[in-house]
């Protein structure tokens, strides 16, 4: 094993937010989280799904280019990879407008130079009946599913790591995680906004299962707490931002839905941060000891 793999350090920050429908306030929280992550040595910061606004999808989509430029500028200013969990977008990767008045749910990775290095359009759209205030969820009424998997290289300290991109409901589909691994992924991003009830039942289990399926680290950056919409309705998300290693071990987590609930601090933040260092050498050794992808026969 070469020294670059042995010596490389790749620190990841997963951010938990409680995004509301004030985009400026959410951007301020994102900026503060990025500054904090960089100060603590992170080279990649992963933001949750719907980081700039919970709800208001069409109004937010009208600002897709402006918001993307703002977030790209944060990445450039602070010299860090920023994975924008998701933003609604009115056009496909080829620039064509999404038909039928729908949108795409888009996750983007910006490099330390501010350039966008990847765009992933969420493939699996949340469809479920949940015993909460909303009851019925049907993302396909608003969004068109993406069609392309994405694995992108991240260069840190003269080493290269491969990031496979997912979003939220994608976690329920092991074939996607396996395909990303087959395409070379070392780490999987999973920015999410799980409902409180589905998150309580399945969030941790799904993160660990996808790590085991793919033998990749999985980064679960989440929305958590109550989100109040402009029409007066509310939505509750599970939070519990978690980073899981290739063997299904939870390496670090924030074990609450609400922000600022683990400890009383002098300065209350509008985000929580979970840090972990990716150990590529250990992951390679683990894969060698249990070479499941050498044994895989069905796909």
pLDDT digits (tens, 9 = 90+) for 19-69: 999 999 999 999 999 999 999 999 999 999 999 999 899 999 999 999 999
Listed as ranges, residues in the chain with pLDDT below 70 are 1-8, 261-267, 299
The DSSP symbol for 235 reads: E
The pair of structure tokens assigned to 102 is 């729908």
Assess whether 52 carries a catalytic annotation: no
How is domain 8-295 classified at the architecture level of CATH? Answer: 4-Layer Sandwich (3.60)
What 3-state class would DSSP assign to 5? helix
0.85 exceeded by the pTM? Answer: yes
Tell me the C-alpha distance between 62 and 180, whole Å.
31
Place of tokens 């608003």: 142
Q: Which helix (H) or strand (E) holds 84?
A: strand 81-89
Q: What per-residue string of b and e applies to 47-83 under the rule 16 or more CB within 10 Å gives b?
A: bbbbbbbbbbbeebbebbeebbebbbebbbebebbbb
* Residue 298: per-residue pLDDT: 81
Residue 215 near residue 182, CB atoms below 8 Å: no
Q: What share of the chain is helix, strand, coil (3-state, %, to 5)?
A: 30, 30, 40
Assess whether 89 carries a catalytic annotation: no
Assess whether 122 carries a catalytic annotation: yes
Q: Catalytic residue among 51, 52, 89, 122, which?
A: 122
In angstroms, the first-to-last Cα distance of the chain is: 29
Q: Which helix (H) or strand (E) holds 214?
A: helix 196-214
What are the sequence ranges of the domains in the chain? 8-295
Q: Catalytic residue among 49, 56, 139, 272, which?
A: 49
Q: Which helix (H) or strand (E) holds 286?
A: helix 280-289
Q: Catalytic residue among 51, 52, 89, 168, which?
A: 168
């Amino acid at each position: 094993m070469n020294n670059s793999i042995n010596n490389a350090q790749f620190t990841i920050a997963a951010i938990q937010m409680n995004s509301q429908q004030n985009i400026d306030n959410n951007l301020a929280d994102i900026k503060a989280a990025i500054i904090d992550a960089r100060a603590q040595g992170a080279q990649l910061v992963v933001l949750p799904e719907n980081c700039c606004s919970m709800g208001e999808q069409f109004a937010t989509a009208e600002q897709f280019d402006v918001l993307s430029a703002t977030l790209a500028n944060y990445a450039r200013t602070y010299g860090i990879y920023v994975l924008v969990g998701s933003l609604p977008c009115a056009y496909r990767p080829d620039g064509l407008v999404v038909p039928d008045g729908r949108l795409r749910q888009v996750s983007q990775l910006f490099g330390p130079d501010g350039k966008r290095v990847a765009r992933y359009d969420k493939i699996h759209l949340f469809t479920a009946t949940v015993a909460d205030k909303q009851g019925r969820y049907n993302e396909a009424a608003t969004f068109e599913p993406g069609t392309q998997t994405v694995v992108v290289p991240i260069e840190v300290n003269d080493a290269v790591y491969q990031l496979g991109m997912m979003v939220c409901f994608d976690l329920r589909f092991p074939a996607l995680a396996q395909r990303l691994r087959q395409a070379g992924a070392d780490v999987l991003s999973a920015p999410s906004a799980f409902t409180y009830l589905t998150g309580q039942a399945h969030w941790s289990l799904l993160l660990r299962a996808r790590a085991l399926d793919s033998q990749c680290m999985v980064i679960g950056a989440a929305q958590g707490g109550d989100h109040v919409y402009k029409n007066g309705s509310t939505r509750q998300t599970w939070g519990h931002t978690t980073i899981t290693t290739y063997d299904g071990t939870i390496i670090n987590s924030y074990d609450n839905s609400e922000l600022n609930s683990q400890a009383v601090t002098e300065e209350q933040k509008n985000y929580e941060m979970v840090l972990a260092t990716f150990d590529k050498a250990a992951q390679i050794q683990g894969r060698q000891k249990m070479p499941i992808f050498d044994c895989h026969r069905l796909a």
